[in-house]
Structure 1
Amino acid sequence: MKLTEQRSSMLHGVLLITLFACAAFYIGDMGWVKALSLSPMVVGIILGMLYANSLRNNLPDTWVPGIAFCGKRVLRFGIILYGFRLTFQDVVAVGFPAIIVDAIIVCGTILLGVLVGRLLKMDRSIALLTACGSGICGAAAVLGVDGAIRPKPYKTAVAVATVVIFGTLSMFLYPILYRAGVFD
């Protein structure tokens, strides 16, 4: 295959993922979706699950490199840009004691997640990815750790889905529990 054909095929995969991303933002901006408190990320995960279970086998094989490129490189770049939202001044403003407390909570959550995963005889990669997503910042943390431990793609998908589902449930449950006086 010529170089221009490879680029064209890769572009098709990238454009497909761009279409999915635009669709996720468009659907996420609809009134009824906002009323359900579903973010574009959750909509994107749902679209990804639909893609994986229906369209994946019907796409040309030449599109796969573009899709894989988006799943690895573009996604990691997006995580880096997401991290830039937190500035050094923001970190300094909370103070050193708060940073220490945060570090202890994050490490404790990850350790507890790994231990619970062991007790439940879960796959080690899925347990670690889910624990990091729960302890740090959600799906972005799962995808960041994914690059370090390099699990099979389905394990990352399971961890992201788990973190997003429980995070979404928490968004609904925490206000209800607070109003019920559980946190008093």
Structure 2
Amino acid sequence: MNLLDPIGWAIVLLVVGCGFLILEVFIPSGGLLSFFAFVALVASMIVAFNRNLTTGLSFMAIALLAVPLAVGVAFMLWPKTPMGKAILGELPSEEETRPDDPRRSLVGRVGVAQSLMLPSGAILIDGKLIDAVSQGIAIDPGQPVVVVEVKANRVMVRPAGAAETQAAAFESDDVLSRPIEEFGFDSLEDPLA
């Protein structure tokens, strides 16, 4: 009574060998599981070669593809396991790996173009002159701009809208640029006149 033909046994032994290789990645056995994987893979090829030469060569080619694939999948999954997390620690987020750049705090701030920006030029924010690049729009000197993003060594700007310009003037530390209503004074016109 034969449960499997030789090709069936060769497939089972190949799968068992790849399974032992995956287990070797997850369970430190000092090479014992790798030895069993090697024995199962060699036995799979011997059984396939006993059938005929073509089957044996095809199983050898399948093993040459399946073994690295199984090991690669195991190493991709390993950092997500409890043991992998304990050894490697938590992976840092993108924010943690990004270098500190003080210019990142400029995003959303309003400044004034100091030179003609075609597309690069200089802008003035908080009394500091900064090299910037417009988003493909020519910006005239004296025109308000908004910092859109800071990426690598580039500060990207676009022309500021009227609401953004007023909000920036309101938030400014310059007392003379604030509207008089902010200070709570009534109109300075003579009430008796």
TM-score (norm 2): 0.26
More strand by share: 2
More helix by share: 1
Say which one has the larger Rg: 2
Bigger RCO (CA 8 Å, 6+ sep): 1
